[in-house]
Structure 1
């Protein structure tokens, strides 16, 4: 878990490759066409089907989803690099997707308006940074004695965590 651009997908993909498991991308379960969220019941149902697998690696930061799996996980990683690092990654990724017209979840593509408009992921990242960090800290506090391994990664290179987690 972590905010936009923090490296969640990069870490999940590296862990999944190392473990031979397909990562569960919450964005793919959450977003429908035109950046329209699917209904909560559908989202949680989709996630539930993915969590029926023997092993899973979940990538994302949606409160409904985290509630569904956090206490069932072996390990929960909060990817939390400095804001300047995360935001610059997010900016590069968003511009790359727009320029290359990459197809995203629900068949959606970035547009100039989705890059710079009021619902832009760039603005969203600025707006939710503090509240997501507070929610993540509260979750870690809540799970502190649950037996779930909790890692709060504040560095810039999430790939370096793969060895730590898979040992």
Structure 2
């Protein structure tokens, strides 16, 4: 467990889990949201975005949190472990709305990217189980040699990772 990709819907708890695991496993942590978004929600350019992920994935160890489906294959090819937070849509929407109402800035986001309520994002979260989840499982099936952990909460993920550490040690 030296290269861990954490994926899932927005609001699933990827960043919170990533911080906890980075401390537990003493691994460098990269939040894709922080790297993708520039000030005031400026998107990274596609070629540079893919190249940055290739560079990150080439490092000896890491935890990378974020889904970004268009470049997911880069991380899946490089990681040894995938944690898919397959969290209920209601919980994801609740967390996204709560985050918007009570947090001005997330530490896993770029400077100048303040929380905002976005109906398009809420709609994306609502449709994630029917539109994106099947695509994620298709991608995961292309990497049968990876240790794939599918859980419905960060707490379950932490418990499973502790068990894996004990079994390896």
Same fold (TM over 0.5): yes
Partner of 1:160: 159
Instruction: Specify whether residues 7 and 50 from structure 1 end up closer, same or farther in structure 2 by C-alpha distance, changes over 3 A only.
Output: same
Higher share of residues assigned helix: 1
DSSP 3-state at the match of 1:53: coil
Within 5 A, what are the aligned runs for 1:1-167?
A: 1-97=7-103, 101-102=104-105, 104-110=109-115, 114-115=116-117, 117-119=118-120, 121-144=121-144, 147-155=145-153, 157=155, 158-167=157-166
Whether the 8 Å contact between 2:9 and 2:67 is mirrored in structure 1 is yes
Structure showing the higher strand proportion among its residues: 2
Summarize the Cα distance change of 1:49–1:9 in structure 2 as closer, same or farther, 3 Å threshold. same
Q: CA RMSD in A?
A: 2.1
The normalised TM-score by structure 1 is 0.82
TM-score of the superposition, structure 2-length normalised? 0.81
Rounded Cα–Cα distance in structure 2 between residues aligned with 1:7 and 1:26: 14
The alpha-carbon deviation at position 155 of structure 1 amounts to 4.1
Change (3 A) 1:71 1:156: closer
Contact 1:15 1:166 in 2 (8 A): no
In structure 2, the gaps of 5 or more residues are 1-6
CA distance in 2, matches of 1:3, 1:26: 13
Match of 2:3 in 1: none
Kindly tell me the number of residue pairs found equivalent between the two proteins: 157
2:68 and 2:89 mapped to 1: Cα distance? 19
The Cα offsets for residues 53-76 of structure 1, whole Å up to 9 and x where unpaired, read as 210111001123311120221111
